[in-house]
Chains A and B, each alone.
Chain A
């Protein structure tokens, strides 16, 4: 089975138009034309006539769930979600940032998505190893079955071979490249805090200048704020202008969380976020 991006695009347009016309949604978060084929953009359709601008191709990596919290509570929003994006929506529902009844999820079953910078297929590396949205109202195509599934944690193999010192040296070198543009947190659907801890100055948690200690403070804190919440969409790493592989840390934490609490982020709206929930039989590994 091969994915027809064109077909998904057509269905996305049809459904978006129907939802806007019937008033079931006042905005549709989807993908639109950018300055060329390889650079589509996140797109918001508000009127049935906007639908003509919607596109879908292998470069539409954006996690549209990121924009949900931008709209006032109660806004009826239809949102296009690929597998990881649907998990972000679920996680946001768990965290009570959005309400299930306000959303129409336009599920996109897809694989073969590409990073426009490197042309690399990103399915295994940064999109959680799932091809079908976990939750949806309308599916824009047939569910993907029979396609080899890569574990989202496979890419950790080399990283896990490093000992503590080597890992510290690895991250120090990576973080020294950071220019503190904050594209990583701004691209992340789970980074909705306002203000973010790093922007606070009373107390001040970290320096503004991009130097080793401040960068470490920013990233380690952010990584931990995402523990049990990161849904592995990889947007943070793709947003980074200097290509810091943030996904490695997020995946490592996600893996440990899954092992400890038997729950991956954003898989069911019945779950509670792992680090917010207390169960008597919770693992004590974290205290060891």
Chain B
């Protein structure tokens, strides 16, 4: 089922979704775009490349409150925070970011230990994927093509959208998407030409070149294992690194967090807050010992977690090539170049 509307009618579509629940969509802000809960249907803006912060925050917000308590009072008065979710619509997600949700599912539910917060948010949410604009050149930091993700890859979306000039085409991908779409009666049917354009666009998306290197997961894992102890290699790679939190906070597949008790006057909250393996105190133990005191050890952890340990443990690379870490790194450390460098000698072949 391929439906369509026009870009100038976007507020109408947004309003319809807001009536049914919570709408989270790209919004233009001072420094760029970000996904935000929409309060005014006119805020939704689809003329963007990608957001600064990845849409993971829709399922894994930077701050998630678990328990509220009063200091000095009995623990029995502490109350867990209930998640009362309305149906949620995550609108305008790029294909590489949609793919990241499947990788994150491994950690938040796939291993059998289910994180109820992630799970509930996932279940409540319908995902509107949105193809990249292939008339634009890919950003130099992006490399999702390397990871087998097309620029118009509908996999993982409930509804997938392609923009053609001022027309927005929407296609149902899953039963969840279908249920929603039947309720959006003001969308009109696409013509036969448009259906063809849509299908061709998706196919073309797999040939759209971002940075590309031929990746064999097994070989990558092996190469990274082989250079794990090569301190010279890692020191060189991390000479510029500031050991800040930018790359992990903007990344759609980074999921480390800290559990903090935060108190304001006597009001306490136990909450989950994003943490980053690039922070100095991430591995600081209660004894005072810190197994990763050097910057290179931290950057090695970040890269090898994604490109080595994750492959060995779960069979997939924990990166979707969205390019955010590179784009927002204050010193332009490029994860793609690190991977290329690590595997250069043996099998790497640049197309």
Residues of A within 8 A of B (CB): 34-36, 39-44, 62, 66-67, 70, 177, 179-183, 186-187, 194-195, 199, 207-211, 213-214, 235, 238-239, 241-243
Contact = CB atoms under 8 A, between A and B. Distances in A.
B31 A209 contact: no
Given A180-B245, A183-B242, A209-B260, A241 B52 contact: yes
A43 B240 contact: yes
Contact of A187 (B52, B258, B326, B330): B330
A239 B264 contact: no
Residue from A67, A177, A208, A235 whose CB has the most chain B CB atoms within 10 Å? A208
B66 interface: no
A177 B36 CA distance: 12
Contacts of B52: 241-242
A199 B245 contact: no
A241 B140 contact: no
A171 to B, nearest CB: 14
Contact of B240 (A36, A42, A181): A42
Contacts of B295: 70
Interface in B117-166: 140-141
16 contacts: A34-B332, A35-B141, A41-B333, A42-B239, A44-B239, A181-B245, A181-B246, A181-B276, A182-B244, A186-B242, A187-B244, A194-B280, A195-B281, A208-B262, A208-B275, A241-B249
Interface in B181-199: none
Closest 6 CB pairs of A and B: A239-B330, A181-B245, A243-B31, A186-B242, A42-B240, A186-B244
B244 A181 contact: yes
A210 B331 CA distance: 23
B246 A183 contact: yes
B329 to A, nearest CB: 9
A195 B258 CA distance: 18
Contacts of A241: 31, 52, 246, 249-250, 328
Contact of A208 (B243, B273, B333): B273
Contacts of B140: 35-36, 39
Given A35-B140, A36-B140, A208-B260, A239 B53 contact: no
Nearest to B63: A209
A42 B244 CA distance: 15
Contact of B332 (A39, A66, A207): A39
Given A35-B141, A35-B337, A181-B249, A186 B258 contact: no
A220 to B, nearest CB: 16
B105 interface: no
A35 B326 contact: yes
B30 A177 contact: yes
Contact of B244 (A39, A214, A239): A239
A181 B140 CA distance: 23
Nearest to B263: A207
Nearest to B260: A208
Contacts of A214: 262
Residue from A39, A177, A180, A199 whose CB has the most chain B CB atoms within 10 Å? A39
Contacts of A66: 242
Contact of A209 (B53, B242, B271, B333): B271
A210 B246 CA distance: 14
